[in-house]
């Protein structure tokens, strides 16, 4: 596979009614961490570490320019504790990360220059591992 950029990307997040909403135009930064716990099971007979993979997790940090469509998707998210589907698509790499998430937080920030920005953290919700396709 060729090296690609993240320039052509999409981000969809379910609204409170469970309908996927494309909020890509409001998202200016994204970080997705997919992790898996590790248990050290190294016996005395080993010369190097031996590990077993444990539970998988995902944390998605997003932020960007504020807008009413985005706000309508996220405004009730932390309070409702509703599970939502998040999908990050890298169309130029034909790769998509999909996860069932809860919103850990949704924060607004008004800058001294009058800019209105936001951040949100989405975390794994229902015991299902995030999936790359």
Identify the CATH number of the domain in which residue 29 sits.
Answer: 4.10.410
| Residue 75 falls inside a structural domain | yes
In a domain, 3, yes or no: no
Please check the confidence at residue 8 and state whether its pLDDT lies above 80: no
Question: Across residues 109-121, what is the average pLDDT?
Answer: 97
Q: What pTM did the predictor assign?
A: 0.88
Mean pLDDT calculated for residue range 103-115? 95
pLDDT the model gives residue 78: 73
Residue 33 located in a structural domain: yes
Residue 20 and residue 14 in contact, taking contact as beta carbons nearer than 8 Å: yes
Alpha-carbon dihedral sign for residues 70, 71, 73, 78: positive
Domain of residue 109, residue span: 9-132
Q: Is 4 part of a structural domain of the chain? A: no
Task: Provide the pLDDT for residue 1.
Answer: 60
User: Would you state the pLDDT for residue 17?
Assistant: 87
Q: How many domains does the chain have?
A: 1
Residue 2 domain-assigned?
no
Domain assignment present for residue 63? The answer is: yes
User: Do 50 and 96 form a contact (C-beta atoms < 8 A)?
Assistant: no
Query: Per DSSP, which regions of the chain are E strands?
Result: 9-14, 20-22, 27-40, 51-65, 84-90, 95-110, 116-124, 131-132
With respect to residue 58, please indicate whether it lies within any of the assigned structural domains.
yes
Count CB atoms within 10 A of the CB of residue 19: 10
């Amino acid at each position: 596979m060729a090296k690609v950029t993240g320039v052509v990307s999409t981000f969809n997040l379910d609204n409170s009614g469970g309908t996927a909403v494309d909020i890509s135009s409001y998202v200016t930064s994204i970080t997705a961490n997919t992790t898996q716990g590790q248990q050290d099971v190294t016996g005395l007979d080993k010369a190097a570490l031996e590990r077993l993979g444990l539970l998988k997790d995902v944390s998605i940090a997003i932020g960007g320019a504020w807008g009413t469509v985005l706000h309508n998707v996220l405004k009730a998210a932390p309070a409702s504790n509703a599970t939502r589907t998040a999908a990050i698509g890298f169309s130029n790499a034909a790769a998509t990360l999909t996860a069932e998430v809860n919103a850990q937080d949704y924060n607004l920030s008004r800058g001294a220059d009058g800019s209105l920005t936001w951040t949100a953290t989405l975390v794994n919700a229902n015991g299902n591992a995030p999936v790359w396709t």
